[in-house]
Amino acid sequence: MLYLGLVVAFIGSIVLTPLVKRLAFRVGAVDRPNYRKVHARVMPRLGGLAIFCAFLIGYLVARPDNPAAVPLLIGALVIVITGVFDDMREITAKAKLLGQFLAAGIVVVWGDLQITFINLPFGGQLDFGYLSIPLTIVWIIAITNAVNLIDGLDGLAAGVSTIAMISLAGMAFIMGDMFVLVMASLLIASTLGFLFYNFHPAKIFMGDTGALFLGFIISVLALMGFKNVTAVALIIPIIILGVPISDTFFAIVRRLRAKQPLSAADKSHLHHCLLRTGFSHSQTVLIIYGIAALFGLAALLFSQATVWGAVLLVTVMLIVIELFVEVIGLAGQNYRPLLNLFRANRKATEKH
């Protein structure tokens, strides 16, 4: 039934997206151009509803057996409703956060999905105790919003999310977690169908409905696959989600340096920086796809490495990320501590 579910989800997404496009115009769920937006015309932005409906239909056909499925789907429904209201009426940040908190609370409390402890790499155990519920909720909300932040170019969030889900599905296959594998595969099929209409030049945007839904499902499935494991293994979903997490982290750094509110909007996200460098719209999206794929490959290597090998891999990754960020100006044009250090060392060497 899995293969039939995947086919139904994929075809369902292709069939439903044009219908949702018409609905978006009818209910006023449109994205109008402004100084922060890349597009130059009014665009429908309710596309995430097609992804969710296709995913749900695929699930009903595949019917993976797991008690966590119902809380996950109810939480997803709450997050989708939140996104639909935002796409139609642009609700306040507090109202959006409330919807995310409710959705996360459903899967954490009802679905009993909690990071209760991690086994430390050199012995011992870190027990989170009463902090397990709030920490898990914070993780879900953080990843949900991280995916939402990268939704700035045609096909970007959908493609990066698909690559992340492929990585999660691969890890679930290796670990023998069939539920995560099936749910991730259904989401991949649904999102790929939507990408036919969303890749540049896009005919419809996924909107907050899609970005919040994808971020929510990815964050929950990542926890299902890696909760209550070693500290090293818990880093795997963080690596898989390296693109949205890095973009969000350096957005925070950028705003702290500029003494701006963390919620302030700007045009200095990863895709903005690459566009300013001179890459075209499609090239920028494909470059970020490539970066996301590299993160996925790194996660696979990380999962098979020894503890010291994992430490070395993470160290190299952090240095490469930092250099890349400084070169493209992701944390601000004057933020170049590592490059300045290299220049200072080179000048010192030349003097001697």
Per-residue pLDDT of 5-56, as tens digits, reads 999 999 999 999 999 999 999 998 888 765 555 555 788 989 999 999 999 9
How would you label 330-343 residue by residue, b for 16+ Cβ within 10 Å and e otherwise?
Answer: bbbeebbeeeeeee
* pLDDT band at 122; cut points 50, 70, 90: low
- Decide if pLDDT at 269 tops 90: no
Average pLDDT of the residues in 54-77:
93
> Mapping DSSP to helix (H, G, I), strand (E, B) and coil, where does residue 229 land?
coil
Parent domain of 305: 2-114+121-351
What residues contact residue 114 under an 8 Å CB cut-off, 6+ apart? 108, 132, 133, 136, 227
pLDDT top residue among 226 and 154: 154
- Residue 259 is predicted with a pLDDT of 78
Which pLDDT score is estimated for 206?
93
Distance of CA 318 to the CA centre of its chain: 19
- What is residue 125's predicted lDDT score, i.e. its pLDDT? 72
User: CA 215, CA 147: separation in Å to the nearest integer?
Assistant: 5
pLDDT the model gives residue 228? 52
Residue ranges for the binding site?
A: 148, 208
User: Would you say residue 266 has pLDDT above 80?
Assistant: no
CB proximity list for 149: less than 8 A, separation 6 or greater = 244, 247, 248, 251, 269
pLDDT band at 229 (very low <50, low <70, confident <90, very high): low
Note the pLDDT of residue 37. 55
| Side chain identity at residue 144, one-letter code | T
Q: Are 290 and 234 in contact (CB under 8 A)?
A: no
Would residue 130 be called left, alpha or beta, if left means φ above 0 and alpha means ψ between -120 and 50 degrees? alpha
- Measured CA to CA in angstroms, residue 57 lies from 61, 186, 196, 215, 275 at distances of 6, 9, 19, 19, 37
CA dist 283 and 280 (Å) reads 5
Domain count for the chain, please give it.
1
Task: List phi, psi (to 5°) of 181.
Answer: -60, -45
Which residues participate in the annotated binding site for Mg(2+)?
148, 208
> Which of the residue ranges 110-119, 122-131, 285-294, 331-340 would you say has the lowest mean pLDDT?
122-131
What token pair was written down for 54? 């296709």
Q: Which phi and psi (to 5°) does residue 221 adopt?
A: -65, -35
Residue 28: count of CB within 10 angstroms of its CB = 11
**109, 115, 110: which is closest to 228 by C-alpha?**
115
pLDDT one-digit tens code per residue, 331-348: 777 788 888 887 877 777
- b/e sequence 167-194, b meaning 16+ C-beta within 10 Å: bbbbbbeebebebbbbbbbbbbbbbbbb
pLDDT of 84 reads 95
User: Tell me, what's the pLDDT at 128?
Assistant: 79
